[in-house]
């Protein structure tokens, strides 16, 4: 295995790119020597407390509302096993492998901080599962986003014990014991505090946040490309994107979005065709004119969320924690509010960007507002329906995204006999954001598909080189204007091109990297 295929997990912070490499691209992981030494130091302190007579939460006591019971030394190994088995109580569909791998990596990062008191050999087993491509089966429901993502992380910890179902590198279902034996990994017998340390973190919601940031960074640039294509197809004006106008309201995201629109529309023959007195329109509709303001605000939201995620990436989230001076202290750092809030905020931004894209699509299909395009971009309107129902699909997705934008983090439900009487619901916020990101991808794909057809229907007027490059990329996968045909596969193809960055790459092949 080459070094560039390995992500080192140590005392230095992981980058977002590291998380994506491990979660999405299967990179292996390696614990650094300094990390192993730090873990050994904190472990010695935990073992000292475990041998003492004074009760220490999570080491010699029960958990949650049962923390008042002191556990006899001969029962403590059973205590850890019981904790994991009872807390591995998730339900519902399987969580995506990339989410589970991100969660495993982020939990390993906290273990590697030396503040959890876990033995180095236990952390090495978790690293071994990641490197071997063994992914525990985790279920959709079970986390309230407080005291950590307890049920999801417990399903991971169960696999470390050699129990429960997993999927191998090929995605095939196996038992944990079988997969670990084949990979040469010995299951771990959990010692004092280790069960709690493996599950008491915000790693699931943080992992989903980092993956969403990766997606949204690409999708918001793609939204600028799709908006530019719609402006061009609708004979809109690019004068409103001028830097001197955008500079009057100096939001950084807005400036970046407007710059992208200018770059994508540069040298457009279609735009040039109506830069004269024959154009009587004073200004475009909001969905065209205000595209940088909305996409820019979404960008600034992503930047805020990234700042929160970066702080979480250098956090040691556990309870109790081992401090550098050897003290072991209880705390509330496992509460998911900081992450939950920005997860909800991103869902709001994604819904609004999608809503604006749908409005632009609708304008291209309406003969009363499309400035000379055929009704629904149909080949023979009346006989053909063109993209009529593609917009319905867009509208349905946008409506769902509006529902997904309702915050989860304002909800709370008491648990553990009122010991955990306020929870973040951050995991739920993360799950709905993933659906919102998928929705935004599909909505932008329909806009790109529709705008490409509209641009071609403007022939012989010449599109901008960047938008022409996008149209050419699409035409490698789907046909151009013509009589009605089975449209769902075309939407699926362009959705894939949008998701994997091919639409953006086509535009950037002309413009260079967009902001």
> Is the separation of the CB atoms in 117 and 322 below 8 Å?
yes
Residue reference for tokens 């919601």: 205
CA distances to 152, 210, 242, 386, 389 from 494, rounded to whole Å, are 33, 24, 30, 16, 16
Phi, psi of 28 (to 5 degrees): -80, 170
| Beta carbons within 8 Å of 419's beta carbon, 6+ residues apart | 64, 65, 67
Please give the Cα distance from 395 to 359 (Å, whole number).
9
Active site residues: 57
> Is the separation of the CB atoms in 121 and 188 below 8 Å?
yes
DSSP string, 237-277: -SGGG-HHHHTTS--HHHHHHHHHHHHHHTT-HHHHTT-ST
- 50: tokens are 């475990």
Which residues pair with residue 91 across a beta bridge? 141
Q: At what angle do helices 150-160 and 176-183 cross, to 10 degrees?
A: 50
Phi, psi of 77 (to 5 degrees): -65, -40
Contacts for 19-22: CB closer than 8 Å, 24+ residues apart: 19/102, 19/105, 19/106, 19/207, 19/210, 19/211, 19/313, 20/210, 20/211, 20/214, 22/101, 22/102, 22/105, 22/130
Please give the Cα distance from 274 to 221 (Å, whole number).
26
Which residues pair with residue 384 across a beta bridge? 381
- 160: tokens are 């470390």
Q: Are strands 91-94 and 139-141 parallel, antiparallel or unpaired?
A: antiparallel
CA distances to 93, 199, 355, 389, 423 from 147, rounded to whole Å, are 22, 8, 36, 46, 8
> Is the separation of the CB atoms in 146 and 409 below 8 Å?
no
């Amino acid at each position: 295995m080459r070094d560039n295929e390995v992500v080192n997990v140590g005392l230095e912070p992981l980058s977002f790119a590291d998380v994506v490499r491990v979660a999405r691209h299967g990179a292996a992981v390696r614990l650094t020597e300094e990390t192993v030494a730090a873990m050994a130091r904190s472990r010695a302190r935990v073992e000292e407390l475990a041998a003492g007579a004074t009760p220490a939460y999570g080491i010699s006591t029960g958990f949650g509302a049962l923390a008042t019971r002191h556990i006899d030394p001969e029962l403590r190994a059973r205590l850890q096993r019981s904790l994991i088995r009872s807390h591995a109580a998730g339900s519902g569909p399987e969580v995506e492998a990339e989410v589970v791998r991100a969660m495993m990596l982020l939990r390993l990062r906290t273990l590697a901080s030396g503040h959890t008191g876990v033995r180095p050999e236990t952390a090495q087993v978790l690293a071994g599962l990641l490197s071997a491509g063994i992914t525990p089966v985790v279920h959709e429901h079970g986390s309230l986003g407080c005291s950590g993502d307890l049920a999801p992380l417990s399903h991971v910890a169960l696999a470390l014990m050699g129990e429960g179902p997993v999927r191998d590198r090929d995605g095939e279902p196996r038992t944990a014991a079988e997969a670990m034996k084949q990979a040469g990994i010995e299951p771990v017998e959990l010692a004092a505090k280790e069960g709690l340390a493996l599950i008491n973190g915000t790693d699931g919601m943080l992992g989903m946040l980092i993956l969403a940031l990766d997606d949204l960074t690409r999708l918001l640039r793609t939204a600028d490309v799709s908006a530019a294509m719609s402006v061009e197809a609708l004979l809109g004006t690019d004068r409103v994107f001028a830097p001197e106008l955008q500079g009057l309201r100096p939001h950084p995201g807005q400036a970046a979005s407007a710059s992208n629109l200018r770059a994508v529309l540069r040298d457009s023959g279609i735009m040039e065709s109506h830069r004269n007195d024959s154009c009587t329109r004073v200004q475009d509709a909001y969905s065209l004119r205000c595209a940088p303001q909305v996409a820019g605000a979404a960008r600034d939201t992503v930047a805020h969320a990234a700042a929160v995620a970066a702080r979480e990436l250098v956090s040691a989230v556990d309870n109790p924690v081992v401090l550098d001076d050897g003290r072991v202290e209880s705390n509330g750092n496992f509460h998911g509010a900081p992450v939950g809030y920005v997860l909800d905020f991103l869902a709001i931004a994604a819904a609004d960007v999608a809503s604006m894209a749908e409005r632009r699509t609708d304008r291209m299909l309406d003969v009363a507002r499309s400035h000379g395009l055929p009704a629904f971009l149909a080949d023979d309107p009346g006989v053909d329906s063109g993209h009529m129902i593609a917009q319905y699909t867009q509208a349905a997705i946008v409506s769902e995204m509006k529902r997904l934008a309702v915050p989860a983090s304002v909800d709370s439900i008491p648990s553990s006999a009122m010991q955990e009487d306020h929870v973040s619901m951050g995991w739920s916020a993360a799950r709905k954001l993933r659906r919102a990101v998928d929705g935004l991808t599909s909505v932008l794909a329909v806009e790109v598909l529709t705008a490409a057809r509209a641009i071609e229907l403007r022939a012989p007027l010449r599109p901008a080189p960047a938008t022409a490059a996008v149209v050419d990329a699409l035409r490698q996968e789907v046909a151009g204007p013509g009589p009605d045909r089975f449209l769902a596969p075309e939407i699926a193809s362009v959705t894939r091109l949008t998701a994997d960055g091919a639409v953006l790459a086509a535009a950037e092949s002309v413009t260079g990297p967009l902001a």
